Amino acid sequence: MDNLLHQELSDDRVLLRPLQASDADMLFQAASDPSIWEQHPQRDRYQRPQFDAFFAGALEAPAAFVIIDIASNAVIGSSRFYHCSDTERNRYADAIPDMHDAICIGYTFLIPSFWGGTTNRSVKRLMVTRALQRYSTVLFQIGENNLRSRISIERLGATLATARDHVACESSLATPHVLYFIHRSQLASLAF
């Protein structure tokens, strides 16, 4: 666990509370809507066995969060920091600056009533700002057909890398992913 990353984050919209094993049932309730996963490479995470694998991965990550709406105090999603494998770092090194000093943000989901507003922007602002206190680059591995996530990250100002990859999620086969990044030098120009 990375103590800098694994701290509560908040603004006037959301609270990102470090994930705990006891959050499984509460988070599964939020994740159980199939529409959340319809563009994701692993479309069946709304089913309990697949969600449990997703949740176990979150608990093993350097830092994972339950996303709570400040106004209602409701659990509305989750996100996490994670590391690329050494193989991925080497593959991406020519396309992404300072890949040797990078952290990934991903596995983010929000319940549909929070799509299209400012919530995801708040979550990403909090996480990117925190990550760039320690790392030079933040990487996002996004399923190639996950247009909702791709549009969202592009609106923030992340750069689409020239590299592409095939990434395996939990129990699924590797699927095409695109890579976006934010370098520390871009922080001031982001659309948070």
What pLDDT, in 10s, does the model give residues 50-62? 999 999 999 999 9
The CATH homologous superfamily of the domain defined by 9-189: Gcn5-related N-acetyltransferase (GNAT) (3.40.630.30)
Identity at 183, one-letter amino acid code: H
pLDDT (mean) for 29-33 = 98
Per-residue pLDDT reduced to its tens digit, 43-52: 999 999 999 9
The sign of the dihedral angle between the CA atoms of 171, 130, 180, 98 is negative
Instruction: Find the range with the poorest average confidence among 86-95, 111-120, 159-168.
Output: 159-168
What residues have CB less than 8 Å from 66, skipping those under 6 apart? Answer: 16, 17, 18, 19, 23, 26, 27, 75, 77, 78
Pairing of strands 14-18, 102-110: unpaired
- 172: exposed, middle or buried (C-beta count within 10 Å: 0-12, 13-18, 19+)? middle
- Name the band, by pLDDT with cuts 50, 70 and 90, for residue 169: low
Pairing of strands 137-143, 102-110: parallel
Please report, for the chain, the start and end positions of each structural domain, with discontinuous segments joined by +. Answer: 9-189
The separation between the first and the last C-alpha atoms of the chain, rounded to the nearest angstrom, is 27
